[in-house]
Each structure stands twice: as C-alpha cells, then as structure tokens.
C-alpha cells in the first residue's frame, strides 16, 4: 500500500467524467493480503469519530497510528482509550496537516464538524490517503462538488458515513422494493422528530476552556466569541458549521428514498417551508420545523421534521414510508414491515418477504467499516461512495436553502450547477472561508 507522493501524483488520474455514479478505477494500486492491517489516522475524536475508529479496531484489521483533535483534553483521553481498549499507542496531533504528512498512514477517518470535511478530505486525497468521512459529506453544495472531484482525480477509496447503506434492515427492504414487491413506488414520506433539534438552552459567552484551540476549531468559519453552545455537541444548529436535522438525519433517511428508485440525479426542484419558535430560550439558527418536497417526473419525496418531539407517524420518532401501487412499507433502523390494510396479511407478507434474505445479525456500523476496509485493501468501490454522499447532501442542503432564501420554491439547473434565476439561493451554494483558510481547489 506504500508509495511515494511523487509516484502517487504521477499515476493518479480522473476516473470518470461528469457527476454520475461511476465506479472509479483503482487498478494501479496493488491489492494487499487480507491479513495485512490498514494503518488508520483519526481526525476529530470527540464523539462519532472515535465511535468509527472503535468499530474499525474491533475488526482486528487496523492499526491506529495517529489521532488529531483541536481539544487537548479530548486528544489525551482518546489516546488513553485506544491504549486501554486495544493495546496501541497512537501519536497525538493538534493539526491534521501534520497527521497527513505521515506516509505510513493508509487512510483517515474524518469525524470533525461538517465545516471541516471538505478541506481535510481534499488534502487527504492529495496526500494519497483513503477516506472514511462522516455525513453529511460537506456543509455546502460547492464543497460536495470539490470532494467528489478530489476523490476522482486522486483515485481514492471513500466511504461516507451513511451506514444505512450497509445495514441489513435497509438492504432487505430494498431487495423487496426492487423486486417489485409493492409495485411501482410513486411517493415516499420521510420524517425525523428529535428533542435535540431544539438546540441547547441559552447561556452567556465564556472564556475559552484550557486545552481547546478555539481558533483552529472555527477554522474557515466566521470568527466568534466563545460560547459552549456553539462547539462540542451543539455545533450542528448553526449554519457556519452544520445544517440542523435536515442535514443530520436528512441525509440518512432521504438516502433511503433515493435508493428505493435508484435515483442518481440531483433534485429538479424543491418546495420548502420552515419555522423557528422559542429562539429567545434556545441557542439555534437552524429550523425547528421544516416541510420539504421534491417533485420529480414520476416520483415524489416528502420530508418533515419537528424538533423537541420524539414521536411521529406510526408512533415512530423517525421513519420512511414507501408507497407503491401494490402496497406500502414502513421502515426504521430496527425493522420494516409491509402494510396492505390487513394486519394478519401484512405480518405474513413481511415474514415471507424477509425469508430469503441472509441476515447475519451484524450492526450496520460493523458492516460499513468492514466494507470500507475491504475497499481499501482490494481497491474497490464502497457501499456509500462519494457520489452517493454528494447526491443526498444536495437534496438536504437545497431544502435548507429554499427556506433560508424566504422564497420557498427553487428550481435547479443541473448543467450550470445553480438555481434558476435565484441570486439568493445561488449565494448559499458556496461557503465563505475565513481566518486565512481558503476553499481548496482541485
């Protein structure tokens, strides 16, 4: 798996043209023995990043050579966690660029807030690393485009952290849907209602905690006075760093709606409305309530969320309802079932539909990381490559943009990559970079 940067840049080339779902050509990289371990570096270690690393290390196929975090307290804790749980002592970094300079590292996990994903992934691609990047792919449409371009130009194996693409519940449901089990699907309803979407209760600004490099945490985002509600755990409620429930749960669940019809194209149009109440009490910019529709030529996707609640249709806080001309399916991460108006018939039909699927009992995360490691070793595409991550991220971002513009209805020009006749919407396609950081070029 080792090669010099010069050899890497000499050999790498774009694997395909356009933005369609095309499997890259990894053939110039040598395949390695299944018994050889992959050397991993983790960037962003507080929560999900370390969760991903733990799943990888539990496979026995990984060495952790480095961990990077801008909070020294988290960094030291995670190094100790790896030592205690897995008997390895990774090197610690406060700057991800120093970690990427280690030629011994084969692949990196990007577990940072969304506004850092693009810069880190593009530089990782240029450094010859494969990438497991958390969802959503990026914090803006243009960043998603750059990440796709970088992965293709440098022929990197990428897994986006949409682990439902690997989960057995969803794969078995898709097998039934794609076999025509509920006929032609005309509509999919998606919802996600969670209390945390309200954000945290307001607190005054504070002194920057010891050990946190706050300027580095902000990175390309606007400079702000430190407030604990804008960083660890709550950052996704602010446009500078994330997109609220729409991009957090939206990319997971809207992805299922796209998968049901194998939709690879960008949205044609988006119709959206949203509202924010209780802003006097909560620290939040993203929307408490949203209603978003994606009309297509022969298909309709509808998304809704209400923060502050943990209940929704079918008494589920989140879920996906697939409606076909021969029946319907209701699904969440725990299970799925067929609905046809008769409870007994529905239960029997659901049981029969699942009978031929080979359930192993492995979690979606376990399968997802195993799939990534296989991709790295064998130089093959993953279950959720960058193309899939980009496409669903565009759906989610466009929902937010439609509400933020105040115009509610946007039409997308696929050829030009912008909104038709809408300057407000187009101004939100690309994130503004600050603090001396620049949007990467590919």
pLDDT in tens, 349-373: 999 999 989 999 999 999 999 999 9
Q: Do 273 and 231 have their domain in common?
A: yes
> In this prediction, what percent of the chain has a pLDDT beyond 90?
89
Taking the C-alpha atoms of residue 138 and residue 140, their distance in angstroms, rounded to an integer, is: 6
Nearest to 405 by CA among 277, 241, 274, 245: 274
**Are 332 and 253 contained in the same domain?**
yes
One domain, residues 53 and 154 = yes
CATH number for the domain harbouring residue 212: 3.30.360.10
The answer as to whether 438 is a domain residue is no
Is residue 6's pLDDT more than 80? no
- Residue range 268-318, pLDDT digits in tens: 999 999 999 989 999 999 999 999 999 999 999 999 999 999 999 999 999
Q: Give the model confidence (pLDDT) of 312-345 as tens digits.
A: 999 999 999 999 999 999 999 999 999 988 888 8
Its pTM stands at: 0.92
In this prediction, residue 26 carries a pLDDT of 53
**Is 435 inside a domain boundary?**
no
Pair 420, 321 in one domain: yes
Pair (314, 232) in one structural domain: yes
Tell me how long the chain is: 442
Give pLDDT, residue 25.
53
pLDDT in tens, 387-414: 999 999 999 999 999 999 998 899 999 9
CB 57 within 8 A of CB 123: no
Q: Does residue 19 belong to any structural domain of this protein?
A: yes
Q: How confident is the model at residue 118 (pLDDT cuts 50, 70, 90)?
A: very high
Helix (H) or strand (E) holding 353: helix 343-354
Percent of all residues in the chain with a pLDDT value above 70, rounded to a whole number = 92
- Token couple for 98: 């120093």
Distance CA 375, CA 179 (A): 27
Q: Is the predicted pLDDT of residue 421 greater than 70, yes or no?
A: yes
The 289-295 sheet, strands edge to edge: 336-339, 327-331, 318-324, 185-192, 300-306, 289-295, 269-275, 409-413, 418-419
Do residues 202 and 230 share a domain?
yes
CATH number where 81 lies = 3.40.50.720
* pLDDT tens-digit series, residues 79-93: 999 999 999 999 999
Residue 441 within a domain: no
As a whole number, mean pLDDT of residues 245-254 equals: 98
The predicted pLDDT at position 278 comes to: 87
pLDDT of residue 23: 45
In this predicted model, what pLDDT tens digit does every residue of 43-76 receive, in sequence order?
A: 999 999 999 999 999 999 999 999 999 999 999 9
The yes-or-no verdict on residue 10 having pLDDT over 70 is no
125-142: pLDDT as tens digits: 999 999 999 999 999 999
Give the Cα separation of 45 and 79 in Å (integer): 10
Predicted local distance difference test score (pLDDT) of residue 34: 60
Residue 439 lies in a domain: no
pLDDT of 103 higher than 90: yes
CA distance linking residue 219 with residue 284, whole number of Å: 20
**Same domain flag for 86 and 142:** yes
Instruction: Please check whether residues 289 and 141 belong to one and the same domain.
Output: no
Residues 218 and 176 in one domain: yes
The token duo for 52 is: 């991903």
Q: Is residue 307 part of a domain?
A: yes
418-425 average pLDDT score: 97
100 and 177 share one domain? no
For residues 1-17, average pLDDT: 36
Provide the pLDDT for residue 247: 98
**How many domains is the chain partitioned into structurally?**
2
Do residues 197 and 147 share a domain? no
- Residue 442 resides in a domain: no
Please give the mean pLDDT across all residues of the chain: 93
Task: Note the pLDDT of residue 31.
Answer: 54
Range of the domain at 149: 5-165+366-385
């Amino acid at each position: 798996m080792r090669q010099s940067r010069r050899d890497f840049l000499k050999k790498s080339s774009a694997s395909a043209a356009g933005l369609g779902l095309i499997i890259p050509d990894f053939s110039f990289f040598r395949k390695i023995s299944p018994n050889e371990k992959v050397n991993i570096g983790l960037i962003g270690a507080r929560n999900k990043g370390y969760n991903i690393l733990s799943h990888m290390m539990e496979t026995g196929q990984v060495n952790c050579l480095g961990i990077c975090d801008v909070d020294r307290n988290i960094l030291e804790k995670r190094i100790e966690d790896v030592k205690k749980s897995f008997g390895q002592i990774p090197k610690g970094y406060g700057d991800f660029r120093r970690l990427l300079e280690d030629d011994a590292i084969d692949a990196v996990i990007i577990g940072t807030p969304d506004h850092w994903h693009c810069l880190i992934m593009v530089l990782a691609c240029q450094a010859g690393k494969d990438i497991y990047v958390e969802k959503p792919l990026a914090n803006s449409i243009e960043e998603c485009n750059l990440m796709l371009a970088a992965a293709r130009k440098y022929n990197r194996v990428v897994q986006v952290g949409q682990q439902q693409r690997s989960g057995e519940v969803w794969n078995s449901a898709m097998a039934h849907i794609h076999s025509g089990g509920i006929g032609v699907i005309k509509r999919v309803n998606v919802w996600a209602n969670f209390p945390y979407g309200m954000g945290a209760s307001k607190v005054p600004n504070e002194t920057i905690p010891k050990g946190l490099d706050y300027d580095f945490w902000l990175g390309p985002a606007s400079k702000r006075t430190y407030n604990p509600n804008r960083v660890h755990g709550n950052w996704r409620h602010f446009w500078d760093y994330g997109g609220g429930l729409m991009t957090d749960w939206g990319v997971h669940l809207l992805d299922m709606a796209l998968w049901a019809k194998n939709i690879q194209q960008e949205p044609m149009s988006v119709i959206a409305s949203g509202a924010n109440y209780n802003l006097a009490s909560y620290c939040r910019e993203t929307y408490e309530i949203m209603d978003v529709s994606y009309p297509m030529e022969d298909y309709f996707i509808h998304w809704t969320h209400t923060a502050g609640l943990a209940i929704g249709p079918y008494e589920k806080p989140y879920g996906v309802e697939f409606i076909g001309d021969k029946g319907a399916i209701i699904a969440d991460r725990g299970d799925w079932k067929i609905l046809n108006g008769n409870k007994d018939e529905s239960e029997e039909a659901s049981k029969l539909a699942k009978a031929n699927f080979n359930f192993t009992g492995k979690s979606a995360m376990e399968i997802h990381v195993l799939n990534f490691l296989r991709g790295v070793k064998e130089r093959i595409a993953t279950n959720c490559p960058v193309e899939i991550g980009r496409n669903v991220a565009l759906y989610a971002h466009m929902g937010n943009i439609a509400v933020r513009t105040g115009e509610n209805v946007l039409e997308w020009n696929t050829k030009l990559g912008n909104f038709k006749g809408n300057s407000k919407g187009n101004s939100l396609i690309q994130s503004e970079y600050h603090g001396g950081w620049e949007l990467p070029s590919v």
